[in-house]
């Protein structure tokens, strides 16, 4: 066996360029697997953290308007009122009720925690959007002007371009007034929704799928506090968070709350719905499973590509060394020895390439933390899984050319 290993290493040493190409194939495959897996770990961690913020015995009751509500402008009516909250507190199983002006989301978000959402109206046109305070915002203006410290306390807004397209179409929005939570704001600028600020490069870049920040309109800080509810402006309630008392089923209490709200607002166009910890957990688990499937698919593709490359290289090696194989067979070498020699070469290539791939993959993952919106999380399991997968790939894909080499007819080769 030691002789076989020495012969294998000597042969590989004589074909350095071929060996380098094989290493590049493997390193690219392993690096992509490690990086994508680390990204998946990071996204799963974010989703799970968002899930933990929901109290174990809490349910979020929200209202989903129907299409007719949008057509008749009934969406402008509040689906909840202060009196509703007082009535709901008297229901069996309700321990505590909190109100919020934010809109419920069916899945955890990766956006900025400063983003708040509200309806925007312009005459008969109704839209919605996210808002950030001018003190935190870095944005690129395509029309009009940006906000300045002199705008503090004024009702002015820099609308993001997606909202402008939906609400104003070809009309110039500058100088027009839009209504947000009962107050009118003058549009003084339009910001580019397709660009984001890169804190590393300290400049603006085109938005990519990896940029998870939400395109947001910009308002002065006082206006932001009004929209977000930090400063009371009106009694607008968009959802209620119900804490269910011990001994009561969350689903039963939620059903009774929805039934009560429906009876309190019999003519409202839409439906009251519930979102509890279990539904958010289900969404989180589905996302995590989707991420895992994507990682597995990329792993398989990377391993197949690397394996095909190794198999081709080993086939070339078998063809080049057919004379050598024939002579060794004529001198008494067993087919098993020939088979093991080529398998050793294949496994050696994949093992060394796998180690280099893990190192490069870890380096790329660590470096990517500087410019990604969330931090990739490399794991020992990923490294071991990738390493074992590539070694098995070397054995599987190296077996075919090794078998071909072991079945060489020495008579035909020598007298060819």
When pLDDT is cut at 50, 70 and 90, the band that residue 211 belongs to is: low
| Per-residue model confidence (pLDDT) at position 157 | 94
In the chain, count H helices and then E strands: 12, 13
- Tell whether the model's pLDDT for residue 405 goes beyond 80: no
Q: Are 390 and 30 in contact (CB under 8 A)?
A: yes
Residues 123 and 268 in one domain: yes
CA distances from 312 to 104, 199, 388 (A): 55, 45, 21
User: Which candidate, 400, 222, 406, 388, places its Cα nearest to that of 311?
Assistant: 400
Which of 276, 306, 338 is the last residue in one of the domains?
276
What is the extent of the structural domain holding 197? Answer: 57-276
Residues 31 and 63 in one domain: no
- Which percentage of the chain shows pLDDT scores above 90? 7
DSSP secondary structure of 329-372:
HHTT--HHHHHHHHHHHHHHHHHHHHHHHHHHHHHHHHHHTTTS
Residues 198 and 269 in one domain: yes
Which pair of structure tokens corresponds to residue 259?
A: 């039934």
Q: How far apart are CA 240 and CA 217, in angstroms?
A: 26
Residues 251 and 302 in one domain: no
Strand partners, 243: 58, 96
Which of 238, 254, 276 is the last residue in one of the domains?
276
Residues 209 and 85 in one domain: yes
Residues 379 and 317 in one domain: yes
The count of domains in the chain is 2
Phi (first) and psi of residue 276, to 5 degrees = -115, -175
Residues 145 and 272 in one domain: yes
Which of 276, 307, 342 is the last residue in one of the domains?
276
Residues 271 and 294 in one domain: no
User: pLDDT of 39-63, one tens digit each?
Assistant: 777 777 766 665 555 556 778 888 8
All residues at 6 or more sequence positions from 172 whose CB lies less than 8 Å from its CB, including other chains: 143
| Per-residue model confidence (pLDDT) at position 190 | 93
| Per-residue model confidence (pLDDT) at position 43 | 73
If you average pLDDT over residues 166-170, what whole number do you get? 85
Residues 405 and 256 in one domain: no
Residues 201 and 327 in one domain: no
User: Looking at per-residue confidence, does 406 or 352 come out higher?
Assistant: 352
- Buried-exposed string 242-261: b where 16+ CB fall within 10 A, e elsewhere: bbbeeebebeebbebbbebb
Residues 45 and 156 in one domain: no
Bridge-based pairing state of the strands 216-219 and 125-133: parallel
Residues 251 and 289 in one domain: no
> 110-114, 126-130, 163-167: which has the highest mean pLDDT?
163-167
| pTM for this model (two decimals) | 0.46
User: pLDDT of 275-334, one tens digit each?
Assistant: 766 666 666 667 777 777 777 787 777 777 777 777 777 777 777 767 777 777 677 777
Q: Are 238 and 116 in contact (CB under 8 A)?
A: no
User: pLDDT of 190-199, one tens digit each?
Assistant: 999 888 887 7
Question: Which 3-state string (H, E, C) describes 283-326?
Answer: HHHHHHHHHHHHHHHHHHHHHHHHHHHHHHHHHHHHHHCHHHHH
């Amino acid at each position: 066996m030691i002789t076989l290993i020495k012969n294998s290493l000597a042969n590989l040493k004589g074909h350095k360029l071929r060996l380098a190409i094989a290493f590049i194939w493997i390193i690219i495959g392993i690096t992509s697997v490690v990086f994508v897996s680390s990204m998946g770990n990071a996204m799963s961690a974010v989703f799970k953290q968002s899930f933990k913020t929901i109290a174990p015995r809490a349910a979020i009751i929200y209202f989903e308007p129907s299409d007719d509500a949008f057509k008749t402008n009934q969406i402008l009516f509040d689906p909840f009122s202060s009196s509703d909250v007082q009535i709901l507190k008297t229901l069996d199983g309700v321990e505590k009720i909190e109100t919020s002006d934010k809109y419920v989301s069916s899945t955890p978000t990766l956006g900025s925690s400063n983003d708040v959402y509200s309806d925007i109206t312009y005459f008969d046109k109704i839209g919605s959007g996210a808002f950030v305070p001018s003190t935190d915002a870095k944005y690129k203006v395509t029309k009009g002007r940006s906000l300045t410290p002199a705008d503090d306390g004024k009702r002015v807004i820099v609308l993001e371009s997606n909202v402008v397209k939906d609400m104003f179409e070809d009309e110039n929005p500058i100088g027009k007034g839009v209504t947000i939570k009962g107050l009118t704001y003058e549009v003084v600028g339009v910001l580019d929704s397709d660009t984001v600020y890169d804190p590393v490069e300290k400049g603006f870049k085109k938005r990519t799928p990896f940029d998870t920040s939400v395109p947001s309109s910009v308002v002065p800080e006082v206006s932001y506090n009004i929209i977000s509810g930090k400063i009371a402006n009106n009694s607008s309630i968009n959802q209620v968070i119900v804490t269910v008392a011990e001994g009561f089923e969350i689903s039963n209490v939620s059903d009774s709350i929805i039934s009560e709200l429906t009876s309190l607002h019999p003519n409202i166009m839409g439906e009251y719905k519930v979102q509890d910890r279990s539904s958010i957990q289900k969404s989180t688990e589905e996302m995590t499973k989707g991420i895992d499937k994507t990682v597995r698919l990329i792993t398989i593709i990377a391993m197949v590509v690397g394996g095909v490359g190794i198999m081709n290289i080993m086939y070339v090696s078998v063809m080049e060394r057919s004379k050598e194989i024939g002579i060794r067979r004529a001198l008494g070498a067993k087919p098993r020895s020939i088979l093991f020699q080529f398998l050793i070469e294949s496994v050696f290539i994949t093992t060394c390439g796998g180690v280099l791939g893990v190192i490069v993959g870890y380096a790329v993952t660590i470096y990517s933390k500087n410019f990604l919106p969330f931090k990739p999380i490399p794991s020992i399991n990923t490294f071991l899984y990738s390493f074992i997968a590539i070694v098995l790939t070397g054995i599987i894909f190296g077996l075919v050319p090794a078998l071909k080499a072991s079945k060489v007819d020495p008579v035909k080769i020598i007298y060819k």
